[in-house]
């Protein structure tokens, strides 16, 4: 594959809930409820926009990704069916329940709100989950899993992967100089302005005008790793207490007020055993850059529109290596 052709293998590694355009493209592919291209989509100041215009925009923004995904996932589906590895409706439904439990604490209201915010549907999510199940099943053929191995994986990774970390929420006023920060701190202490107002008026953080400098909740471990000075200062504060001195952070100075600290929580093995099994299998799976080139070359692609022909590059066998000098030719 030439270097100018973006590898579709990276597509399989994208977290689908973190790429709305890709998810939307994936949602549209295969959706029988879509209206005709000339059906009205919306209007702007009375000017009608059709679904055809929407589809054109979608092609411009995510067409290459959607084309690659469609080709790859159809190859995955066919191979899974051939090997009797295609997931049942019950398996897909069970995986959806696991997703809601893992990402939304089992709260269907949160899940429904997320669907609306991403322009997705429950059926589109099920399609993505089915593809993920097929993907992992294909790449872990022959891998056996024992309870002992899963317990060892959990013991080694529970703090990082499964436990809920301690969280902290705080407000900050960010200034360019220490003197500016000290002046703002004096105003707060004198009662001339509250912390929200100080952040809105004096912070160089553009978001502070609307948020009052609110940050988080964020995992304490992330704060410790990325901004240790802020972590150290916040660890000494009680709720609603302000740092006694400005804190140096890079080339800026920060005043902090602790808003909330939430204790971490250990997650028992039994509550996340499905998640553990999936993560363990991923760690044992054949690497994608090895498995997928071999898989995709089993398939032939015909009839692809010219603008997406490059998306079929992964399905083509590489050119033969040049023969070694003296092998089958003139010395």
Q: What residues contact residue 98 under an 8 Å CB cut-off, 6+ apart?
A: 274, 275
Please name every residue paired with 171 in a beta bridge, in sequence order, or none if there are none: 214, 257
Supply the CATH classification number for the domain 167-262: 3.10.50.40
pLDDT for the residue numbered 310: 80
**Helices 51-82 & 122-139 angle (0-180, nearest 10):** 30
* Residues found in the chain: 331
- Rounded to 5 degrees, φ, ψ at 149 are -65, -40
Q: Around Cβ 148, how many Cβ atoms within 10 Å? A: 8
- Rounded to 5 degrees, φ, ψ at 3 are -70, -15
Q: What residues contact residue 119 under an 8 Å CB cut-off, 6+ apart?
A: 20, 23, 24, 27
Integer Cα distance of 117 and 25 in angstroms: 15
- Rounded to 5 degrees, φ, ψ at 48 are -75, 140
CB 21 within 8 A of CB 65: yes
pLDDT for the residue numbered 313: 74
Distance of CA 244 to the CA centre of its chain: 38
Distances (CA, A) of 301 to 105, 116, 294: 42, 34, 15
The residues spanned by each domain of the chain are 8-143+285-315, 167-262
Half-sphere exposure of residue 229: CA atoms within 13 angstroms, side-chain side: 12
- Helices (H) and strands (E) counted in the chain, each on its own, are 13, 6
Q: What residues contact residue 37 under an 8 Å CB cut-off, 6+ apart?
A: 50, 51, 52, 55
Per-residue pLDDT of the chain (331 residues; tens, 9 = 90+): 333 333 333 334 333 333 334 444 444 444 556 688 889 999 999 999 998 998 889 888 888 888 888 888 899 999 999 999 999 999 999 999 999 988 888 899 999 998 998 888 999 999 999 999 999 999 999 999 999 999 999 999 998 888 888 999 999 999 999 999 999 999 999 999 999 999 999 999 888 888 899 998 898 888 998 999 999 999 999 999 999 999 999 999 999 999 999 988 888 999 899 999 999 999 999 998 889 888 888 888 888 888 888 877 767 766 666 655 554 444 4
Q: H or E element: which one contains 50? A: strand 47-50
CB 72 within 8 A of CB 62: no
- Rounded to 5 degrees, φ, ψ at 237 are -100, 150
CB 175 within 8 A of CB 185: no
């Amino acid at each position: 594959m030439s270097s100018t052709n973006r590898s579709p293998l990276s597509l399989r590694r994208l977290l689908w809930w973190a790429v709305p355009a890709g998810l939307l493209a994936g949602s549209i592919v295969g959706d029988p409820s879509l209206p005709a291209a000339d059906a009205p989509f919306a209007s702007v100041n009375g000017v009608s926009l059709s679904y055809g215009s929407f589809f054109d925009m979608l092609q411009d923004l995510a067409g290459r990704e959607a084309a690659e995904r469609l080709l790859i996932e159809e190859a995955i589906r066919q191979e899974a069916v051939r090997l009797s590895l295609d997931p049942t409706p019950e398996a897909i439904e069970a995986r959806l329940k696991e997703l809601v439990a893992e990402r939304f604490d089992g709260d269907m209201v949160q899940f429904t709100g997320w669907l609306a915010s991403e322009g997705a549907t429950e059926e589109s999510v099920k399609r993505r989950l089915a593809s993920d199940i097929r993907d992992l099943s294909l790449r872990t053929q022959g891998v056996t899993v024992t309870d002992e191995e899963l317990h060892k994986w959990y013991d080694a990774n529970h703090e990082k992967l499964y436990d809920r970390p301690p969280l902290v929420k705080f407000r900050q006023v960010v200034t360019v100089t220490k003197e500016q920060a000290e002046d703002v701190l004096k105003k707060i202490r004198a009662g001339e302005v509250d912390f929200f107002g100080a952040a809105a008026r004096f912070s160089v953080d553009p978001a502070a005008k609307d948020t009052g400098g609110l940050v988080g909740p964020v995992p304490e471990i992330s704060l410790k790793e990325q901004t240790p000075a802020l972590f150290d200062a916040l660890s000494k504060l009680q709720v609603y207490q302000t740092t006694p001195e400005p804190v140096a952070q890079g080339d800026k100075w920060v005043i902090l007020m602790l808003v909330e600290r939430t204790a971490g929580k250990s997650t028992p093995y039994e509550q996340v055993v499905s998640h553990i099994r999936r993560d363990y299998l991923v760690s044992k799976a054949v690497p994608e850059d090895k498995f997928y080139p071999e898989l995709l070359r089993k398939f032939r692609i015909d009839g692809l529109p010219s603008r997406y022909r490059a998306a079929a590059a992964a399905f083509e066998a590489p050119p033969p290596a040049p023969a070694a000098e003296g092998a089958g030719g003139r010395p």
